[in-house]
Amino acid sequence: MAHKWDPKTDPVGKNETIGRRLFDEPMLMGAQDQPSFKGLDYRHFEETRADRELSLDRLGFTGIEKKAKSYLKPRAVAAGANCVPPKQFNGWAQVRASVLEKGLGGQCFPVIASPIDLNGIEGNTHHAHIVITGDVTFAAFRLREIFTSRGSTVEKIEPPKAPEGPVCGES
């Protein structure tokens, strides 16, 4: 019988799909006819907390699992709502754990399982992290390059549609 994946107790496997949450980031405006930036912003991978642990989500044992996405999406939406100012959750950038462990430019990023054992939406049994060593900005650029060039496509979450009809106060 095959082993059933349990992110709460299992160590991170080399073929696991690891995701970094993407939130809307303010972008500089260019000329009116300039196309908008379609790539990943390095700020998605920049760790600003003192512990230097970049949070990640374990999305599946060998690929993205719907059950994992269903579990993680409300937690990601809530995390974005807690930002100041609030940010909209836009999905995950994803890559295999082995790719992060191999690293780039001599900097490796081994993924460490670190479930957050709290009740409710604050808990996250699928949580993992990597420890950022050295300069955080260089690490952010390396991580962006890894997720862009060696990762799979970005798992986009459609933004909520604006309600149709009159806006409050209008008749």
- In tens, the pLDDT along 38-95 reads 678 888 898 888 889 999 999 999 888 999 999 999 999 999 998 888 998 988 999 9
**Cβ-based neighbour number of residue 44 at 10 Å:** 19
- Residue, of 7 and 35, whose pLDDT is higher: 7
In a domain, 10, yes or no: no
Nearest CA-CA partner of 14 in 133, 153, 111, 93: 111
Question: Looking at the domain assignment, is residue 37 inside a domain?
Answer: no
Is residue 171 situated within a structural domain?
no
- Which residues lie below 8 Å from residue 12, measured CB to CB, with a gap of 6+? 18, 58, 97, 111, 112, 113, 128
- Note whether residue 166 is domain-resident: no
Note whether residue 32 is domain-resident: no
Assigned domain for 9 exists: no
| CB-CB contact of 141 with 42 (8 Å) | yes
pLDDT at residue 27 in the model: 58
Domain hosting 133: range is: 17-23+42-155
Total domains present in the chain: 1
For residues 5 and 68, give the distance between their C-alpha atoms in angstroms, rounded to a whole number: 11
| Residue 169 counted as domain residue | no
Give residues with Cβ within 8 angstroms of 55, minimum separation 6.
Answer: 21, 127, 128, 129
Q: Give φ, ψ of 89 to 5 degrees.
A: -75, 130
- Is 99 a domain residue? yes
Of all helices (H) and strands (E), which one includes residue 151?
none
Q: What is this structure's pTM?
A: 0.81
Residue 2 pLDDT level (bands cut at 50, 70, 90) = low
Instruction: Give tens-digit pLDDT for 90-127.
Output: 889 999 999 999 998 888 999 999 999 888 888 999 99
Q: How far apart are CA 100 and CA 13, in angstroms?
A: 12
